[in-house]
């Protein structure tokens, strides 16, 4: 504006651009002065100076304590009593629950009943309903003392032990030599280390076979088992026959 008042005509357009893209509320009076056929530079300059001075002023108080007391005095007036006398959060929650119950009773057609039930009873009933909704999905996981009472029906009979050698014969007849050699290895392991050695022992098949009095006699069976199980190599009838011959001594004992 100072350049425009000195005769710089393009400065008016520059001032218009600045005012149009400036953030904050628009200044229609100043824009009107600049957009007129003959721009009123004096009035626009005065308005800009007043705007600048207003923006430089800071709203402050020399005595914050006095201002705080004045604020409390204003809020203590009767017209503002509703700001501090409203219901508490708990009262609003209970009121919302009661309103829901009233609407539900009205929907059932019993809305005209006047039940003189104390407020705390409604609160307890609502709490029980909420707890039942929460606990119902997890009822199966909650037990007394970590145990669940069950009727005693006698000891559960142990499953019969698998006849590994018969299973090996069945698989070999069907042409499944890989499964058959695994069954042979299981039968020998059971004979060497007990009933549950095959499915519960942490030892490998090689370690289980090492407990035999002549472990080298089991090498054909061990080799066929490791090639089929670990190497994923197919096993033919001749290879299975050598493995079955190595397990023959344990099969007779079984």
What pLDDT digit, counting tens, does each position of 171-192 carry? 889 888 888 888 888 888 888 8
pLDDT for the residue numbered 64: 83
Give the chain's mean pLDDT: 78
Residue 183 lies in a domain: yes
Q: How many other C-beta atoms lie within 10 A of the C-beta of residue 219?
A: 13
- Kindly state the average pLDDT of the residues 160-173: 79
pLDDT for the residue numbered 119: 61
Dihedral sign of CA atoms 70, 73, 77, 80 in order:
positive
* Residue where a domain terminates, one of 56, 71, 101: 56
Domain that holds residue 117: 89-131
Residue 62 lies in a domain: no
* Residue where a domain terminates, one of 108, 131, 154: 131
Residues 243 and 182 in one domain: yes
Residue 231 lies in a domain: yes
* Residue where a domain terminates, one of 56, 75, 102: 56
pLDDT for the residue numbered 46: 92
pLDDT for the residue numbered 141: 56
Q: Residue 146 — very low, low, confident or very high, per pLDDT cuts 50/70/90?
A: very low
Residue 218 near residue 209, CB atoms below 8 Å: yes
Q: Which range has the worst mean pLDDT, 38-52, 61-75, 84-98, 172-186?
A: 84-98
Residues 200 and 243 in one domain: yes
Q: Residue 14 — very low, low, confident or very high, per pLDDT cuts 50/70/90?
A: very high
Residues 225 and 179 in one domain: yes
CA distance 247 to 205: 14
Residues 182 and 228 in one domain: yes
Q: Which residue has the higher pLDDT, 72 or 198?
A: 72
Residue 63 lies in a domain: no
Residue 139 lies in a domain: no
Residues 168 and 224 in one domain: yes
Residues 46 and 112 in one domain: no
Residue 107 lies in a domain: yes
Residues 189 and 240 in one domain: yes
pLDDT for the residue numbered 109: 64
Residue 146 lies in a domain: no
Q: In terms of Cα–Cα distance, which of 166, 160, 157, 216 is closest to 186?
A: 166
Letter string b/e over residues 118-154, b meaning 16 or more CB atoms within 10 A of that residue's CB? eeeeeeeebeeeeeeeeeeeeeeeeeeeeeeeeeeee
Q: Residue 149 — very low, low, confident or very high, per pLDDT cuts 50/70/90?
A: very low
Residue 144 near residue 150, CB atoms below 8 Å: no
CA-derived radius of gyration, the chain: 47
pTM value is 0.36
Residue 70 lies in a domain: no
Q: Residue 162 — very low, low, confident or very high, per pLDDT cuts 50/70/90?
A: low
What pLDDT digit, counting tens, does each position of 115-143 carry? 566 666 767 777 788 888 888 777 655 55
Residues 178 and 225 in one domain: yes
Residues 171 and 125 in one domain: no
Number of domains in the chain: 3
pLDDT for the residue numbered 85: 65
């Amino acid at each position: 504006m100072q350049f425009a008042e000195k005769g710089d005509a393009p400065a008016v357009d520059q001032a218009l651009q600045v005012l149009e893209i400036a953030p904050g509320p628009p200044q229609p009076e100043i824009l009107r002065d600049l957009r007129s056929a003959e721009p009123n530079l004096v009035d626009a300059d005065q308005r800009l100076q007043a705007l600048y001075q207003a923006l430089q002023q800071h709203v402050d108080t020399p005595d914050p304590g006095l201002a705080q007391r004045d604020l409390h005095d204003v809020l203590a007036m009767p017209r503002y009593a509703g700001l501090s006398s409203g219901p508490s959060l708990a009262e609003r929650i209970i009121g919302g629950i009661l309103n829901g119950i009233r609407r539900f009773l009205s929907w059932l057609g019993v809305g005209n009943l006047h039940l003189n039930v104390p407020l705390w009873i409604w609160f307890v009933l609502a709490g029980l309903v909420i707890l039942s909704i929460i606990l119902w999905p997890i009822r199966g996981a909650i037990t007394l003392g970590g145990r669940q009472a069950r009727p005693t029906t006698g000891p559960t009979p142990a499953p019969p032990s698998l006849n590994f050698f018969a299973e090996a014969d069945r698989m070999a007849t069907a042409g499944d030599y890989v499964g058959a050699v695994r069954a042979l290895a299981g039968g020998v392991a059971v004979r060497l280390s007990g009933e549950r050695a095959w499915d519960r022992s942490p030892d490998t098949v090689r370690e289980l076979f090492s407990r035999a009095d002549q472990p080298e006699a089991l090498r054909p069976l061990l080799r066929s088992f490791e090639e089929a199980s670990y190497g994923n190599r197919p096993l033919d009838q001749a290879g299975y026959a050598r493995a079955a011959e190595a397990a023959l001594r344990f099969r007779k004992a079984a």
